A and B are shown apart, each in its own frame.
Chain A
């Protein structure tokens, strides 16, 4: 075996075993025939070849052609996580935009800073907020390309913020916490890009669904302002109304709803909810890290956050277990 062949076979390990058992030999044959002009003991497979195998691996693992029933189930779960995750991001973005508009219009005074979901946004964050709302609307209408482009735009403030903080010389734990909180956006976008591959059908949601995140966001802003506006506002509510707190409430609601109505054999819902529970847990740990670093033990805010983290971990593990048990057996798909 030449070095080039060995390297290409290593790339093919990205593919699931059942697929390699079926295809590896002929893919190696086709690749080496096409690479005849390369010096076989020197060359590496081109990046474009590696990327094409990686894209194939994503499709095969997530329900594309050549996938097993198990792969199809994972694909459904990842797409569901993308839809639900984009909904949450669009909702919190709409909430931020609505609060911004109300402050600018002079309807309300500046919002207390600890309500992180409602802050005065910069230009970049405003643009990203619009992008999130547009991304969910496009996904709900089945416009996948627009949804993917808009969702990636929605992520732009994250690296900008990280770079800004690093240059500003803030403690490393803050940068880490920004990254952890950023996962709430990053994971659904990855799910969107990977789950809605070429072989996946676009979702067709109810025509009114694109309006749901702005409506829910507006409702949340009203609730937050009612609490924040009260002079005797209890500090502990903050832990339930910042971004991870709202994510927690939404996930808890969805899980209860699923447990009551969703007694179907499909593993997609529990797996998707588990993925989102772990993502929300990461962002919650991010806020806890910041609270601890500024040193406020015994803080009622911290207690609520810790309770959420514990519940999210348990919820995620239970849902993951339920989902995995409902997965089809890993028998290979019938091919050719």
Chain B
């Protein structure tokens, strides 16, 4: 799963959102690091809808323009959960090894 897809799915966990709502939420989730371009956003949404991870929730008219809200499907929630578990396991391994390394460095420092 690409990072934009991961962030878009995460943005839809708590409630259905429309296009710009997703962009804003992704920006916040990533601490301002990822600001999706509209073309990129819809490419990601197309893929997620085609894979059945996201679906149309409802349509509204805002300021005279069509606004579509998307929601996470059950499959989308499972896929996100699996990806989150995978990333968490990777992060844990890295943290453990780094802790062991700094432990070794301290022990060596003590010997010197």
Whether A and B are associated in the same complex: the answer reads yes
Q: Which residues of A contact B (CB under 8 A)?
A: 23, 25-34, 48-49, 51-56, 59-60, 64-66, 198-199, 335-336
Chain A residues with CB under 8 A of B42: 23, 27, 56, 66
Chain B residues with CB under 8 A of A198: 2, 43, 47
Evaluate contact between A29 and B62: CB separation under 8 angstroms: yes
Most buried by A among B2, B43, B66, B67: B43
Q: A29-B19, A33-B20, A34-B23 are in contact. Are A56 and B65 (CB under 8 A)?
A: no
Q: How many residues of B contact A (CB 8 A)?
A: 24
B41 at interface by CB-CB < 8 Å: yes
A–B complex contacts, Cβ < 8 Å, 26 sampled: A26-B19, A26-B67, A27-B38, A27-B39, A29-B18, A29-B20, A29-B62, A29-B65, A29-B67, A30-B18, A30-B20, A30-B23, A30-B41, A32-B65, A34-B38, A48-B37, A49-B37, A52-B43, A53-B39, A54-B39, A65-B43, A65-B50, A66-B46, A198-B47, A199-B47, A336-B55
B89 nearest CB across to chain A (Å) = 25
A184 nearest CB across to chain B (Å) = 31
Q: A33-B20, A34-B23, A66-B50 are in contact. Are A26 and B39 (CB under 8 A)?
A: no
Partner of A25, one of B43, B49, B50, B65: B65
Evaluate contact between A30 and B38: CB separation under 8 angstroms: yes
Does more than half of chain B's interface fall in helix, strand or loop, or is it mixed? helix
Most buried by A among B42, B50, B63, B66: B42
B78 at interface by CB-CB < 8 Å: no
Chain B residues with CB under 8 A of A52: 37-40, 43
Give the complex CA separation of A89 and B101 in angstroms.
Answer: 49
Does more than half of chain A's interface fall in helix, strand or loop, or is it mixed? helix
Q: Which residues of B contact A (CB under 8 A)?
A: 2, 18-20, 23, 37-43, 46-47, 49-50, 55-56, 62-63, 65-68
Evaluate contact between B23 and A64: CB separation under 8 angstroms: no
Give the complex CA separation of A26 and B45 in angstroms.
Answer: 12
Chain A residues with CB under 8 A of B2: 198
Evaluate contact between A31 and B43: CB separation under 8 angstroms: no
Evaluate contact between B66 and A25: CB separation under 8 angstroms: yes
Evaluate contact between B65 and A28: CB separation under 8 angstroms: yes
A-B pairs with the 8 shortest C-beta distances? A52-B39, A30-B19, A52-B37, A66-B46, A65-B46, A25-B66, A33-B20, A53-B39
Most buried by B among A23, A34, A64: A34
Give the complex CA separation of A66 and B50 in angstroms.
Answer: 8
Chain B residues with CB under 8 A of A49: 37-39
Evaluate contact between A55 and B18: CB separation under 8 angstroms: no
Give the complex CA separation of A30 and B45 in angstroms.
Answer: 13
Chain B residues with CB under 8 A of A60: 46
Give the complex CA separation of A198 and B43 in angstroms.
Answer: 9
A25 nearest CB across to chain B (Å) = 4
Give the complex CA separation of A54 and B67 in angstroms.
Answer: 22
Give the complex CA separation of A143 and B59 in angstroms.
Answer: 41
Chain A residues with CB under 8 A of B46: 60, 64-66
Give the complex CA separation of A198 and B39 in angstroms.
Answer: 13
Give the complex CA separation of A159 and B20 in angstroms.
Answer: 42
Chain B residues with CB under 8 A of A335: 49
A308 nearest CB across to chain B (Å) = 41
Give the complex CA separation of A30 and B47 in angstroms.
Answer: 18
Give the complex CA separation of A52 and B23 in angstroms.
Answer: 14
Evaluate contact between B38 and A336: CB separation under 8 angstroms: no
Give the complex CA separation of A53 and B39 in angstroms.
Answer: 4
When C-beta atoms are compared, the residue in chain B nearest to A56 turns out to be: B39
B40 nearest CB across to chain A (Å) = 5
Evaluate contact between A56 and B43: CB separation under 8 angstroms: yes
Chain A residues with CB under 8 A of B56: 336
B93 nearest CB across to chain A (Å) = 25
Chain A residues with CB under 8 A of B66: 25-26, 29
Give the complex CA separation of A46 and B77 in angstroms.
Answer: 34
Chain A residues with CB under 8 A of B65: 25-26, 28-29, 32
